[in-house]
Amino acid sequence: MARSSTVPDAVRPAIRRGFVDCPSAQMHYRTAGEIRMGQRPLLMLHASPGSSRQLEPLIAALAHTRRVVAPDTPGNGDSPAISAEDTTVVSLAQAMLDFIDAAGLATVDVYGSHTGACIAAELAILAPARIGAVILDGAASFARDVQQDYLRHYAPPFPADRSGAYLVDMLQFCRDQALFYPWFRGTAECRRGGGLMKPEDLHAWLTEVMKANETYHHNYHAAFRWNGEERAGRIAQPVLMIAAENDPLFADTMALSGHAPTARFVPLPASSDTDFPARRLAALHQFLDQPEGAMTR
């Protein structure tokens, strides 16, 4: 879920929404901020499940210094899906390249969270001349046994039924992700310790997942199959890898940073800590605002 930022609502840049026509379909996006001289726009790719709505607090915080553009990735929110058999992290990266073409963006920096991080990494590999700095917020390369387990259990489709039971199933799916990792194992060993999310946050998240009840899982499955250890080594751009200490992918992100020659890993406090939003924002600004090529491990 999106986390709150430290920017007061009264001074947050307005977030606007729109659609662009891509080769395969229209794609929905959120945007805020202005293009500034010497600043590349920032493309932001959300985690699964959900949409760019969950990034709104961070979009607003970053839009004070740059233009931010955050599409709903294919099959999520208000963007139509790629066909199931064709959905890979590479095909999702191609869809993002089509999106930045259609949006008239020559070059961008890119931020991705979880599934969005996989897509951001592949986009950097696919179009190195178009992508500047790369931020991966929680990224993993799953071992074969974990991959197979998650493919079977983690992200089921929720086809509609007349009784409305599928709505309850989706609610429990979203609710339990805040309580357990993986969410489908409700054991003491899998407790995340953060407690239940606020009802209004759960409602907002569930609403976005409902839009994609039979397509959201394609991107999850693509991410589970992604060979991050091999692919991270192909990224030529400066890379910042971050993760909150209570992120289930914290250890995976730290390990993956060792496979990317240009990457630096910055640990963050738990997302429940009061200083988390400011610490994350400071890490992003320090990375994005530095002179080209100044990144060191």
- Opening angle at CA 42, ends 65 and 242, nearest 5: 95
Render pLDDT for 218-261 as a digit per residue (tens, 0 to 9).
999 999 999 999 999 999 999 999 999 999 999 999 999 999 99
**Residue 127 has what pLDDT?**
98
- Opening angle at CA 270, ends 269 and 275, nearest 5: 60
- Which of 98, 68, 64, 66 is CA-nearest to residue 82? 98
The domain tally of the chain equals 1
Residue type, 218: H
Do 136 and 192 contact (CB within 8 A), yes or no? Answer: no
**Residue 294 has what pLDDT?**
47
pLDDT band, very low/low/confident/very high, at 291 (cuts 50, 70, 90) = low
Tell me how far apart the terminal alpha carbons of the chain are, to the nearest angstrom: 29
What's the DSSP call for residue 269?
Answer: -
59-75 burial, b at 16+ Cβ within 10 Å, e below that, comes to: bbbbbbbbbbbbbbbbb
Is residue 111 assigned to a domain? Answer: yes
Is residue 194 assigned to a domain? Answer: no
**pLDDT at residue 3 above 70?**
no
Do 175 and 167 contact (CB within 8 A), yes or no? Answer: no
Is residue 235 assigned to a domain? Answer: yes
**Residue 2 has what pLDDT?**
40
Do 156 and 220 contact (CB within 8 A), yes or no? Answer: no
Is residue 192 assigned to a domain? Answer: no
Q: State pTM to two decimals.
A: 0.94
**Residue 83 has what pLDDT?**
86
Is residue 120 assigned to a domain? Answer: yes
Is residue 150 assigned to a domain? Answer: yes
- Which of 95, 87, 84, 155 is CA-nearest to residue 120? 95
Range of the structural domain that residue 280 is part of: 9-155+216-288
Question: For the domain that residue 252 is a member of, what is the CATH number?
Answer: 3.40.50.1820
Strands (E), 104-143: 108-113, 131-137
Is residue 269 assigned to a domain? Answer: yes
Distance CA 162, CA 64 (A): 46
pLDDT band, very low/low/confident/very high, at 1 (cuts 50, 70, 90) = very low
SS3 128: coil
Is residue 185 assigned to a domain? Answer: no
Distance CA 219, CA 132 (A): 24
